[in-house]
Structure 1
Amino acid sequence: MFLVSCGGGGSSNNALPENPPSPPNISENCEDYDDNVKRCRFTWDNISRTYYIKIPIQASENDILPLLISMHGYGGNALSHINYTNFKNIADREGFYLIYPQGANLPSYLGGSTHWNVGGFTSKSTIDDLGFINQIIENVSLNYNLDKDRIYATGMSNGGYMSYALACNMSDKIAAIASVTGSMTNDTYNECATTRPVPVLQIHGLRDVIVPYIGNEGSKSISDVMEFWAQNNSCDTEPLRAVTDYEDFAVYYDYYQNCLNMADVELILSSKMGHTWPWVNNEGFSASEDIWRFVSQFNLFGKI
């Protein structure tokens, strides 16, 4: 069993929930929202929760397809996340189910922002987001032909933090993750307990002042995060680096190799990128394309 407990940073008194139990059979209400997109609602932990599911246009009833869960940032919402990630076109092209969950609101006395409960800067939250995502997976598996060995998670900022929380707490279900401008809170880092090597892609910018590359009081540095997963996956300690130079910036690609089960760890680091979702026309590469390129290589047992 892969049990990782690394030092660094103060821990919060508000620990993340333990691995969620098998979810009960909870009914949900789904309605057509857009072309091949449904909006679904169900009650979890006495709170009405919402997610959107995109069905690829070429999918037939007999197709067994993978699933990508993509989560918005702190204060964001699923609908804007749908628009700026544009995973819908990739889902249609490649053939996978796409889930956009909606984060719950903090209490008004804490500002009321939508969020994902990852400890650290959300440590006063009481929302069970691990259970919520677990139940979404259960609902999708009941209603669609889901390849349960190929369930992936990604997100921006707070959604990226949540991807790491899922990797640590639900590694028996999440095959691979990708984080864009996210990191690991001290809680996630210190309490992470995986049951297998989990492939990880991190996309970050050196000019990110919201989630700094060097970390802050509540978050680990990106270097610490990469080292953490390289150790968890028994990869080489030093990455192989490639670089793409542009006129006024560079994009660095760090590949941690020779991992157990070929569970790769990869960093894409832009010298000019801030707290944004990268596209070819603004950062020289597409985060969405790179995310699917990376995660789709893996199932729960390693590289396909």
Structure 2
Amino acid sequence: MKSVSLGGLLALTMIITNLTACGSSGNSGRAAEPAESSENIQLGERSYLLGLPANFDKNKEHKLLLVFHGSGGSSDGMRSSARFEQLSSDYIVAYPKSLEVEWNEGCDCNIAHRKGADDLGFIQQVIEDVGKRYALQEGEIYAAGFSQGALFAQNVACNMGDQVKAIATVAAPMSKQLAQSCPMQTPVSVMMVHGTADNVLSYYGSDHANWGLLSSQEAVARFAELSGSLPNPLLKSSEQNIGLIHYTNGAQKVQLHSIIGGGHSWRFSNFDTSNQILTFFAGLDAPELPEHSQLVEVQGQKFHVRSMGEQNTGPAILLLPGFNYNYFNDSAWYSLLQPYLAQTYRVHSIDRLGNGFSDMSEEVNLTRFAEDLNSILNEINEKHVLLVAFSSASITASQFYQHRSDDVQLAGMLWIDPDIAGPHSLSLYKGYPADWYLANLDALLPILAEGKWTARTWNKLVVEREEIAALIPEAVAPLMDWNFLDVVSQQRMLVGPQQTRAREIAFYANDLDAYAVLALPSSVPVSVIDSDFEEKDIQNNPDNAEMLRLWQQEGTAWSKQVAEFSSGQYISLEQTDHMVMFQKPEAIKQAIDWLVAHGQ
């Protein structure tokens, strides 16, 4: 994976600057409500406090959560602040006590280091001791810490990643020394919670001759880099004045919750720290979704659906992605069009299995997705729809037209540069690279699993992004959701989506054969937007100019036939790129407006 991007840090800074500050409340891990029953356990000269959940079942396997107090704090104080065993029956909770006033946090700079406190060794002893007393779930050990204990939790992540699955840190960034020396071999999920008005361990970092701190934004980026995360973070902000920056490598998560105006505290008036940490630990296997997104489950498989403009009436607009020239296809193609249309319509973009944030599957093809659509529409309670299909998604749209549920009212369809079901075009589509992928699929899948194509995928994404940026008209540029495009498109770098892409290209010929024998739609209007993107291919490939010109001519004739046969519109766009969704969203909206006015 490439190193993490600074774009996310700059964007989050803007979020924090624009949010209204709010105060924090609660205690710092030292004040204590009366603790419930617990056991103080001695391990030689060291000790830890053991908290068991209510109605503890000794025959049940539990997860283990280690919680570290701050400088000068205590196990009792930390337990009273965190209350983890009161909030979940899944965890046995251990609150170790530091040997010195501070933990040996890995900066090689404090009292604990100078006195040689083996705090990592002690934590290993605690894990083993709890394991002797109670049944623990294999691979389910977690750690959390407050303030200087949070810095120590980071040291645990760096050096004990083979044992600890995830950590959560509260009220601390990261020491510059540990950031440079962290020997993380096994990636660990990391959740950071930090108030932007922290006057003890500054959210913005600090410089000191012996002990410097990264800012929390730099710290989360450093952990993302150590875990091999994808380059671009997901950014969110909430009405509660909390900013989220979230990285993932496809398996582990690294995220920072910025509590705007929050001080040096475990508790905040607008953020339930302990419950949020438990939610993070419980949801490590689920993707963090962008705003407006949800996972819709159909027959045990989850599909990524992004919904906007839900207050609008009329038919729902369904955006179906198709192949671009790199054979990438997901809802990133609608990063501009969806918010543009959502000003007027209720709009859903839907990713097929293996694309975007949808579940992975070995059974992927464009034809199968038409069957999935019926179930997805039922789950999101949409019965009156209009389909917008880009490129090869016309295959799915055609199949859906033929096999849609009886209770779904289809108002019409808009096909943007659709696949052409003519003999010359079909022969081109079935040629390279589709024929190569089909012949080499079995050998290619393990190569993709080793990550050998990840760098080339990233290089393609960089070029695509530059091309898209050059297409967007200034008038609609404020609506472009760059973070959504970056976060969704970079999923293509992960092994699962890479293999899905290979399978879809290999099975493309079968999809085309099924498409070619379908009758043209006749009972609903189908409008076709036909750009002249082929002109660029013709100019760049003079040796194949005649073949490409025939493709263009056949495409024009076939597209006109589809529109005429169904009483739709044929819309020719000159000097237009294949990515019409970015270059001319107004033309798409005008075509949709016409279909809504003339459809069922």
Give the distance between the partners of 1:165 and 1:148, measured in 2 at CA: 22
Instruction: State the one-letter code of the partner of 2:228.
Output: S
| Alignment partner, residue 87 of structure 1 | 84
Give the distance between the partners of 1:118 and 1:290, measured in 2 at CA: 24
| Alignment partner, residue 160 of structure 1 | 150
User: Residue 246 of structure 2: which of 238, 242, 255 is its match?
Assistant: 255
8 A contact 1:148–1:173 mirrored in 2:
no
8 A contact 2:199–2:264 mirrored in 1:
yes
Structure 1 residue 298: deviation in Å?
4.3
| Alignment partner, residue 56 of structure 1 | 53
| Alignment partner, residue 288 of structure 1 | 274
8 A contact 1:118–1:187 mirrored in 2:
no
Give the distance between the partners of 1:214 and 1:63, measured in 2 at CA: 43
Structure 1 residue 35: deviation in Å?
4.8
Q: 1:271 to 1:100 in 2, by over 3 A?
A: same
- SS of the aligned residue for 1:76 comes to coil
User: Residue 67 of structure 2: which of 49, 66, 70 is its match?
Assistant: 70
Structure 1 residue 58: deviation in Å?
2.8
| Alignment partner, residue 116 of structure 1 | 103
- SS of the aligned residue for 2:114 comes to coil
Give the distance between the partners of 1:53 and 1:298, measured in 2 at CA: 25
| Alignment partner, residue 255 of structure 2 | 266
| Alignment partner, residue 198 of structure 1 | 188
Structure 1 residue 131: deviation in Å?
0.4
Structure 1 residue 235: deviation in Å?
1.9
Give the distance between the partners of 2:104 and 2:272, measured in 1 at CA: 27
Give the distance between the partners of 2:179 and 2:138, measured in 1 at CA: 26
More strand by percentage: 1
| Cα RMSD after superposing both structures | 2.1
Structure 1 residue 195: deviation in Å?
2.2
- Deviations along 1:197-251, whole A, 9 cap, x unmatched? 21000000110121111211322221221111211222222321111224xxx11
Give the distance between the partners of 1:129 and 1:35, measured in 2 at CA: 26
Q: 1:196 to 1:119 in 2, by over 3 A?
A: closer
- Deviations along 1:264-304, whole A, 9 cap, x unmatched? 1111101110111124xx2x1111011111123349xxxxx
Extract unaligned runs of 5+ from structure 2. 4-33, 286-600
Figure out how many residues of one structure are paired with residues of the other and give that number.
247
Q: 1:134 to 1:269 in 2, by over 3 A?
A: same
Matched-pair identity in %: 28
Matched, 1:237 2:231: yes
The structure showing larger relative contact order (alpha-carbon pairs under 8 Å, at least 6 residues apart) is 1
Give the distance between the partners of 2:170 and 2:76, measured in 1 at CA: 18
Give the distance between the partners of 1:163 and 1:229, measured in 2 at CA: 13
Instruction: State the one-letter code of the partner of 1:276.
Output: S
Matched, 1:101 2:88: no
8 A contact 2:174–2:219 mirrored in 1:
yes
- Deviations along 1:144-188, whole A, 9 cap, x unmatched? 101130100001001100110000011111110000012322332
Give the distance between the partners of 1:84 and 1:149, measured in 2 at CA: 26
Structure 1 residue 34: deviation in Å?
6.7
- SS of the aligned residue for 1:207 comes to coil
| Alignment partner, residue 175 of structure 1 | 165
| Alignment partner, residue 7 of structure 1 | none
Where do 1:23-34 residues align within 5 Å? none
Matched, 1:141 2:131: yes
Give the distance between the partners of 2:62 and 2:217, measured in 1 at CA: 34
Give the distance between the partners of 2:278 and 2:84, measured in 1 at CA: 9
Q: TM-score under structure 2 normalisation?
A: 0.39
Matched, 1:221 2:220: no
- Deviations along 1:67-116, whole A, 9 cap, x unmatched? 1111110111111111122223113xx321001111122xxxxxxxx211
Give the distance between the partners of 1:167 and 1:296, measured in 2 at CA: 18
Give the distance between the partners of 2:185 and 2:106, measured in 1 at CA: 21
Structure 1 residue 256: deviation in Å?
1.4
| Alignment partner, residue 42 of structure 1 | 43
| Alignment partner, residue 186 of structure 1 | 176
8 A contact 2:85–2:91 mirrored in 1:
no
| Alignment partner, residue 278 of structure 1 | 267
| Alignment partner, residue 588 of structure 2 | none
User: Residue 207 of structure 1: which of 175, 197, 208 is its match?
Assistant: 197
- SS of the aligned residue for 2:79 comes to helix
More helix by percentage: 2
Q: TM-score under structure 1 normalisation?
A: 0.76
